[in-house]
Amino acid sequence: MKTILVTGCAGFIGSHTAELFLKLGNRVIGLDNLAPTYSIEIKRRNLEQVRAHASNPENFIFIEGNIRNSNIVENALKAHHPDLIVHLAALAGVQPSIKNPSEYMEVNVTGTVNLLESAHKLGIKNFILASSSSVYGTNSKVPFSEADRVNHPISPYAASKRSCELLAYTYSHLYQMKIACLRFFTVYGPRQRPDLAIYKFTQAILNDQLIQIYGDGTSQRDYTYISDIVEGIGLTSEWIQSEKAERNRFEIFNLGESQTVPLNQLVSLLEKTLNKKAKVEHAPYLPGDVPITYADLAHSKEILGYQPKVKIEEGINKFCDWYLNQK
């Protein structure tokens, strides 16, 4: 049995990740401050669902704490000495980062340094870090490869995630830590953050409200279903704890579907699945938004054996089922 610290475990990806590690028979320590970025009730419900996967209560310990506070982070690591840290806690989302850049830097960058520094001090060598496809900015070469230059992030959120990757490299170099940065491509599925398009559009269609489409609806996203992301995190945890990672201690992996979907097609798919027409209003593109995201998966397939399975049609079906049932 391994002990795994999952930061952001009350959130969307974190709660699914904590469940995976519990199902695999590990002990999970969750760290999250229940940030009011969306309903705290949703986060508490996520935690209840995680807890239900612990075969005994000691296998899931939740610490309500802020990663901005280095003492809280260090005490959590000292008390439980995890074999692996999966760092998912962050302020996510592009638009709020433009309104509130300093808070994004403090949580995402300083919070990450607090975790890396405490891990180093306590000799914890295995570290997985959530990055984002947003680091590719307006990269015109598609699909996006980990070898592409990523020096032009176009939002504070993207810049904060790229900064985390750079710091992760520094810690890996200085202290021989094994660190994998995972660039997630627009993740969706049950428990999705309510601020994300698929959730917002579903809610608006069902409530006869207007959907706002920024631009002409041709912008494209590589939408990734949550079970594929969680499988990718599981594969990364196997890789990082294996001999292979000793030879190459720092890695960046894209985790996407490698299938782009234009916004208009996404809306049509939701209309078909919900059997209801959307009321659409067009608005100008927002600063910070990128025209396309598209993952090249060659590297994550080769090193991790990552193979996403859920196509958008199936994923949207599953998401809508979940959405309707939770209501």
Binding residues for ligand NAD, rule: CB under 6 A, are: 8, 10-14, 32-35, 37, 43, 66-68, 88-92, 107, 111, 130, 132, 184, 186-187, 193
Annotated catalytic residue: which of 104, 157, 188, 225?
A: 157
User: Smallest distance from the beta carbon of 246 to ligand NAD, in angstroms?
Assistant: 26
Picking from 7, 123, 100, the residue whose alpha carbon sits closest to that of residue 288 is 100
Shortest Å, Cβ 111 to ligand NAD: 5
Q: At closest approach, how far in Å is the CB of 295 from ligand NAD?
A: 11
- Would you say 66 or 317 has its CB closer to ligand NAD? 66
Residue in the shown chain whose Cβ atom is closest to ligand NAD: 11
Measured from the CB of residue 32, what is the shortest distance to ligand NAD in angstroms?
4
Residue whose tokens read 């990672």: 245
Q: Which two tokens stand for residue 92?
A: 């996510």
Of 34 and 128, nearer to ligand NAD (C-beta) is 34
Query: Cα–chain-centroid distance for residue 307?
Result: 17
* Closer residue to ligand NAD in complex, CB, 107/168: 107
Active site residue 104: no
Work out how close the CB of 9 gets to ligand NAD at its nearest, in angstroms, rounded to a whole number: 7
Q: β-pairing, 220-222 with 260-262?
A: antiparallel
**Contact predicate 249/177, CB 8 Å:** yes
Structure tokens at 281: 């209003």
Taking the C-alpha atoms of residue 114 and residue 72, their distance in angstroms, rounded to an integer, is 9
Task: Give least dist CB 106 to ligand NAD, A.
Answer: 8
If the CB atoms of residues 105 and 274 are measured against ligand NAD, the closer one turns out to be: 105
Residues 6+ apart with CB under 8 A from 69: 114
Nearer to ligand NAD, 74 or 244 (CB): 74
Non-local (6+) Cβ contacts of 236 within 8 A are: 128, 180, 182, 253, 304
Which residue's CB is nearer to ligand NAD, number 42 or number 213? Answer: 42
How far apart, in whole angstroms, are the C-alpha atoms of residue 96 and residue 287?
11
User: Do the bridges between strand 27-32 and strand 126-132 make them parallel or antiparallel, or are there none, so unpaired?
Assistant: unpaired
Strands (E), the chain: 3-7, 27-32, 60-64, 84-87, 126-132, 178-184, 187-188, 210-214, 220-222, 224-225, 250-255, 260-262, 279-283
Q: Angle of helix 197-206 relative to helix 263-274, nearest 10 degrees? A: 40
Active site residues: 157
